[in-house]
Structure 1
Amino acid sequence: MSHNTSGPQRGIVCRFRAMPRSLGFALLAVPVTAAAVGTFGVLPATAQDARTQPVAQRSAHATATPASGPASATTAAKKPATRRADDTRPAEQDAGDKAGDKAGDDRRHGRDEDGDRHHGRHEKHTAEEALGAFFDAGYLYEDAVALKRAWHSRADVSDVKVRAGRKLLAGRDLPVDPSGTPATEQEIAERAALDAYLDAGYDSDDADLLALLWGPDTDAYEAKVLAGSKLLAGGEVPIEPGQTAWSVSDDAARAAYFNNGYDYADALVLADIWSGVDDLADVKANAGHKILDRLPLPGGVLPFDGDQGGAGQQAALDAYFAAGYDYDDAVALARVWGGIDPFDAKVMAGDKLITGIDLPVAA
């Protein structure tokens, strides 16, 4: 019999024929194993696939009914891959788990659930505005500490106050109730006035000067509030930021003269002492600059303490009413001249009328 062999199979046949007959029959009884592959150098493709399969699959494959057709020996239909039971959760559940993980991460890093979404909107408020809102709402230091714990925040307590204030300004609620009393409308108005005062460039030195200008009944704090209130109402402050006692206007100096209790009669006395000053308006202005510089006036001239009368004051009042002005005009003039008392406004207005100076309010 002739065999048409080529390649690796021909090599096997040649080796087989060269062996002794007894050894050849013994080898025929040995199953093809990995050692045999190493000896003969060939292994069918199906045997290679079977060797790499698990034992359970090889047993099942061996007992399965062979498929018809020549292709079934080498190409088996692949079974569709199946997901594990825990991989069949809906996408919504996966998204929820991710959101929960993010919320936990936010809490660990001191961010609440809306911290990133509203961060830009909150940032439009300055730190000073946020702190004002925090305290105006009645929150205290211990509340900021409680908020820090509630937010799982590692930030400083001062930063927590700012963050809480910005939330309040944005109309959001806080997880901690205030332990203090919310600020009254007057306190909020004072805070707004102080902010306006500082925003305009005024400082504590300006407040001291304004307190002197507006009279002994006004302290530095009240001067800040009064000046800020004027600015918020669109009015003017009688001095500019950084001015001194001698750089303020003469009108401001004359206002300081009257606001500190000096009157027309005092101006006559000072005019006699300051012989070089003929105009009483200039006398009052010069005296006002000295008052703002905390210098005493010469000649023993003292401010009006409420018990003094004096012909000069009466003359100013007579000139005021003779020009057709009344109490309502005095109130308006007092507002223009920095919130002085209406009675002092009458005297000041009468003094101006006597010296020929027009008033900023018509009769």
Structure 2
Amino acid sequence: MGYVAVEAGEDVIQRAEELFEKQRVDGESDQLSVEQVDDQFSRLTAQAMSEGGLYAPRLAAIAVKQAQGDTAEAAFLLRAYRSTLERWGSSRPVETAELFTTRRVSPAYKDVPGGQVLGATKDYTQRLLDFELTDDDGTDPTEEWDAEPEDPPQLRNVMEVLRDQGLVHNPETGSDEDQPGTPFDATREPITYPAPRAAVLQELARGETGAVTALGYSELRGYGQVHPTLGEVRTGDLPVRIEHPYTGDEVEVTRASVTETECVVPIYEKADDPQFSFGYGLVFGRNERKAIGMSILDAAIQLDGDAPAQDAEFVLDIVDGIDSFGFIEHLKLPHYVTFQSILDRIRSIRERTAAASSGDDAPVQEVSADD
């Protein structure tokens, strides 16, 4: 449905689109290249890839540039493009212990095995506006570093320490009994409730960052009972492997940048054997906020309680940014007939009410939208 009923119809729509493109390149500054977006706005492209459900950094950079920085629009473009691609096969499962770690912090353990790896972060500095960026001359701020770069280590997962001690309760995976261990594919199968955990994790991983963060925050604010401790937050490159079509051997074809988080929640109800429940989050690119929110929601949904963030159907319907994008955006399209119908009903009710209050029993003729 479009604004084709107005004068000039499709010509006006085309002109509006051209004006949008003109605004993207307006101004006196140089045009931003796709390479610059890919290199310098990796957090932005990572969010678009995560919400679009397609790991393709260069395509994400194109989408961000085309959408003028609107991550919801960029994610929409990526997911729409992905739907046109032929599916050649599936990658093989990998252990995240193979993550080539560039950053790993553990709020749970000070002396975590392998040590804390701060990596690139401003978590421990003040959030002050840097006015020197207005005079940025393009030089590398790290060019005076004397330290030799080291290969990021492969670190043991903190949760494995707790599992070795028998302190972690593993949730049910919800796999199909006829095909145990077969991963659920939310992009090809409709989700029914109660949903398997694989489907929940997939939908959370593709969820809109703000929605995942907000619903996770609702648990922390008391609209639920999950206030976890983060076992660790890790970022790095994860190998992507497939089965070679001719030899049948497992081969690594690329690596994907991901953020992984696991949180623990104490279960005191098991008086004879108290343990930790846990929530899991893994998203494309560097997006720690979303990964943490995802782990909180995973832990909350496992409780299956009355809080909003513990209702899987509510959470998964709300966090899908493409669904919410479509419903919110469609309100800008013409609703002339429905609004006229509502307007006629309001007027009719007001007329009947006015007639009743004045003691006039004469019938009031209703006017329909068709009239």
Normalised TM-score (structure 2): 0.20
Structure with more of its chain in helix, by fraction: 1
Larger radius of gyration, structure 1 or 2? Answer: 1
Question: Which is strand-richer, 1 or 2?
Answer: 2
